[in-house]
Structure 1
């Protein structure tokens, strides 16, 4: 699929929404890299997973929490550098193993998801060992090893003795030499804050001096032995903790390949859950693919429009019904400015891309899709300042690509064909393009203001007319697409309604040839009857 097509059809917006709905780092990465599939078997396999996930959301409250980092990548880096993991990092692994365990419990009725998760390996012993080693706050438990328990017990006793000794100093005559009523620790040793003027009155080792020079931090001689033992125990504790962490790191390295595979599987599950959330967000339906070449969108709404407006107002997005077949494979849409032609074009394109990407579509389940091998789009003002191309030349470049590379299994979307140049020449070029696409038997939806292109329906095989409905009474578009009826720009009529001088509007009407006037009147009458019928059916 061309990057240009993905850009102008706002496919990236859909991917960004999937990324938002993903919970894990590798799941978000997978969502951001989604591209359309090239075969229906893969699409249906992916859709089966999403269908079951939607059931899990509806009946089981959703899948287990899937917030995790790319732990396989983290393990690879650590093993390469010989690093060990901090206790809080070990908690990440423990949390991930918990997710693996919970995902293995997904009910057997979800056969496709169970098959996806069949490759999960739950390292029960490793999970248990981490949980027995690290508490929920990320600290190493005393019970992590008998030696650590013994060291910490003695360390508590030594600290208690040191605290008792130094509390006595604070209550003895020594306190009169201190600059503060609290003792402190310097370089891991308990010390007293002694005033500069009294430092000779306290026997001991000077460890530090305050920045002002007014205080010396002195370790009393009688506490040196206890302080030494305190330091020895702290060193032994650190060494034992490092031994424990090294042991856990080795266990993780031993399980590296299984963990990497678990990450891949759960990232896939997370991605499937994101697809299900997106489907629920846009009230999506599972896309069905036709085997007779019919591409029909029933009650299709542009998903980007749905997602950009308030949830309570989404019903205000007017649905699109548009059908392409082997017999009528090119739809030429005409109508007034801001009447919804481009939205209809984009809706056709983005829903086709979503269906090909195994995403539920914001359309009726009765819709049927063709899996196109490519979609070509020329939409909007694509003027290229870098290459000094005019708007018209830029359009022609995209059209040229479509003409060269399209085939009978391609979809071509052209917005305002024939615009941006002399009207006569633009109409001639537009007709030639349509005739060329018709000869190639490719599918196409084309919008245009060129009146001469309306008459191609019936004269060129495969070409059909469509239009955007316009309420002539209130001078406003209804955004409803009508197949089989060409549209009009209503330029003269709108001018009259807006109060332009009669001399101008009458003269403009006279300048139209008789056939054009008759066609405009007929189109207007058909359009107004369509509006009235729509109102009656509400």
Structure 2
């Protein structure tokens, strides 16, 4: 990748942001080394590594990287015989701890089968745990870098002597400064230290009263810091002990440094593995901040982005766009006026390509695809060079010449305002020739231009498509929405009209435009409108489809639940009946035994064949149950009723009430169940009631005899005031039609329309009661109204 292209596309700013998410200087160093790869397998590996780290963050929310330091220089010095300082050793201990924690953390996740992490597992597998060395350093040195008494028995003994000697010195000096006779000779009753020896501040004139050694004096010379003769020997002894302490500490540090040197290669390797792991988790944390996703990588030059956002813009304000290239077409020519967002679109495609080839996830929806290119070329922005005395056009042409020399079939080329900076006719001609040359090389191209001649280019070349950035004439501002397949138009006349330019001036200007140009402009305007309407209708259709699927699933669940409940009740009934019959058979056997006993005892005239025949009759009386989980054909309960539209009926198989809408054929009716309309066989219907016929009223004649009032009113999408007017009119019509019950669909939404409608219904004189629909009828999105 050319350094100039990385700078133009602002890849350095991406690295600067990524650096903020590194946990150590090791990770930051790795970010500095990052350049996009052109090796497809390597890019896939990088993406998989980042995805594994994202999985870990999603499951655990963190990764244990605390204490990690770059201790490679410390290890190198230890290996050549150097003695490490306590701070250096404690940094090594912290790094050993971080390595051990990361190894156990990743291995624990894999052992618990919470995630499959092959790449991270491989990294931690290469980490060697040095628990003994880590504990040895922690036993000898605290977190502040001070050597502890526990480092050795000799050091413990030396420090005990040190504390005893210091206590004796302080005791003697305190007796001096507390003495009433001597206090007047002191500048201050304190004990202080000069040249590592305990001293007291004595007034100049009493110098001879104390004897000893003068170590310092105040700036005025009025105070001398004297070591009294009585503690000179003790101070000497103290210094001797301190020297022993220093020698023992040096010995301890030498031993620890030798231990580190012995395992230097392994520790050095651990650091390199942790450097990779820190870098991988940096990419994962950055992806989380951007709400980025893993792209599907390919080596076929296919880019397909869903709701892609430029990563350096405010993510709450940037307009996401769908973009594609390389499958249906290999080149996009984005036309339209300046400040419309063409350059942002260009840079988004280029920068996301560099990010993907660097193993970074991209700010776009799941399922987006990115290609691995051998090279990315960009000619973007005003690159006028004063030093080289080159104009804007010359500077651009220098870049373009370089691109044409190196471009290949695995290249992505980005041209911004191609052919600009010179005569429009010549510039347009050059732009077309340059695009043709790049296309012939098989490269993927995205170019922006404001030349109208290039609008026809997309229609005359195979594999090329026009695009534009939407512009809102009403607000005189771009929406930054990319429109693939629709060329841009300048909108100069509309903008001028909105800004107040006289109509006669605009009309005169239009006369200077060619007929072909005006027709093309009208065609583009029509295309923009048609595309926008198609997107709106597609969105509405998707919402309706999702709602229908949800209703279908709910209905299926209810049918399954109904069948399960029916089978359960049937099985329970069979069980109870069998139990009763068994009891009856048992009782019959007991009776027969008693009869036989009576026959033997009393020699009654009861024949055996009569007893056997009686028992057979009892057994034949046992009912036979046939289990079946198939849906039984419902028996109609119409009893000769002549069904009519508007009748309230019960759908037997669903155990749901509804109203007849119309007869489909001799055997089927269309039935309204809540907001669901469905065809039901007449045999599956049970008649409930029929609306009472309404007496002829003069008001009803206005509607006409064929006027039909629906059993439901759909208010979704209505404004509050309009909705209430429609409800008032609808209730009047329903009352005239004689309906006992109607449904009002208001949807769920924010709840404002629903509450307003229900409040109105509660106050209406003709409303008997209201209730929300059940699950099959639409739940809280519908209100069932019972009329008086």
Given the two structures, how large is their TM-score scaled by the length of structure 1?
0.94
Q: Deviation digits for residues 331-357 of structure 1, max 9, x if unmatched? A: 111122222111111111111111111
Q: Distance in 1 between matches of 2:169 and 2:67?
A: 45
Q: Distance in 2 between matches of 1:517 and 1:416?
A: 23
Is 1:238–2:246 an aligned residue pair?
Answer: yes
Question: Contact between 1:492 and 1:505, CA under 8 Å: does it hold in 2?
Answer: yes
Q: Distance in 2 between matches of 1:201 and 1:325?
A: 99
Q: Distance in 1 between matches of 2:64 and 2:299?
A: 38
Name the structure 1 match of 2:200: 192
Name the structure 2 match of 1:329: 330
Name the structure 2 match of 1:170: 177
Is 1:64–2:71 an aligned residue pair?
Answer: no
1:302 is paired with a residue of what secondary structure? Answer: coil
Is 1:284–2:292 an aligned residue pair?
Answer: yes
Q: Distance in 1 between matches of 2:316 and 2:202?
A: 78
Is 1:259–2:267 an aligned residue pair?
Answer: yes
Question: Contact between 1:21 and 1:274, CA under 8 Å: does it hold in 2?
Answer: yes
Q: Distance in 2 between matches of 1:185 and 1:316?
A: 64
Further displaced range: 513-522 or 183-192? 183-192
Is 1:297–2:289 an aligned residue pair?
Answer: no
Q: Distance in 1 between matches of 2:243 and 2:86?
A: 18
Question: Contact between 1:70 and 1:263, CA under 8 Å: does it hold in 2?
Answer: yes
Name the structure 2 match of 1:207: 215
Deviation, 1:159, is 1.1
Question: Contact between 1:469 and 1:477, CA under 8 Å: does it hold in 2?
Answer: yes
Deviation, 1:170, is 1.6
Q: 1:87 to 1:509 in 2, by over 3 A?
A: same
The number of residue pairs the alignment matches comes to 530
Deviation, 1:176, is 3.0
Is 1:143–2:144 an aligned residue pair?
Answer: no
Q: 1:187 to 1:297 in 2, by over 3 A?
A: same
Q: 1:74 to 1:136 in 2, by over 3 A?
A: closer
Q: Deviation digits for residues 469-523 of structure 1, max 9, x if unmatched? A: 2233443322221222211111122112211233432222111111111101111
Looking at CA atoms only, which structure, 1 or 2, has the larger radius of gyration? 2
Deviation, 1:164, is 1.1
Question: Contact between 1:471 and 1:531, CA under 8 Å: does it hold in 2?
Answer: no
Name the structure 2 match of 1:11: 11
**Structure 2: tracts of 5 or more residues without a match:** 111-115, 541-788
Question: Contact between 1:279 and 1:360, CA under 8 Å: does it hold in 2?
Answer: yes
Q: Distance in 1 between matches of 2:299 and 2:381?
A: 32
Deviation, 1:525, is 2.2
Name the structure 1 match of 2:231: 223
Deviation, 1:399, is 1.3
Q: 1:10 to 1:507 in 2, by over 3 A?
A: same
Deviation, 1:52, is 1.5
Q: Deviation digits for residues 374-428 of structure 1, max 9, x if unmatched? A: 0100111111122111111111111112111111110110011121111111111
Name the structure 2 match of 1:469: 470
Q: 1:171 to 1:469 in 2, by over 3 A?
A: closer
Name the structure 2 match of 1:421: 422
**Structure 1: tracts of 5 or more residues without a match:** none
Question: Contact between 1:438 and 1:460, CA under 8 Å: does it hold in 2?
Answer: no
Question: Contact between 1:53 and 1:62, CA under 8 Å: does it hold in 2?
Answer: no
Q: Distance in 2 between matches of 1:192 and 1:483?
A: 88
Matches within 5 A, 1:80-91: 83-91=82-90
Q: Distance in 1 between matches of 2:204 and 2:301?
A: 96
Q: Deviation digits for residues 270-302 of structure 1, max 9, x if unmatched? A: 110111011111111111123554322222111
Q: Distance in 1 between matches of 2:257 and 2:363?
A: 48
Q: Distance in 2 between matches of 1:484 and 1:303?
A: 25
Q: Deviation digits for residues 313-371 of structure 1, max 9, x if unmatched? A: x3542222222225521111112222211111111111111111111111122222221
Name the structure 2 match of 1:97: 96
Q: Distance in 1 between matches of 2:476 and 2:160?
A: 87
Q: Distance in 2 between matches of 1:261 and 1:327?
A: 48
Deviation, 1:534, is 4.7
Name the structure 1 match of 2:405: 404
Q: Deviation digits for residues 128-187 of structure 1, max 9, x if unmatched? A: 111110123332111111111111111111111111111111223233322221232222
Is 1:385–2:386 an aligned residue pair?
Answer: yes
Question: Contact between 2:68 and 2:98, CA under 8 Å: does it hold in 1?
Answer: no
Is 1:270–2:278 an aligned residue pair?
Answer: yes
Q: Distance in 1 between matches of 2:375 and 2:55?
A: 32
Question: Contact between 2:38 and 2:375, CA under 8 Å: does it hold in 1?
Answer: no
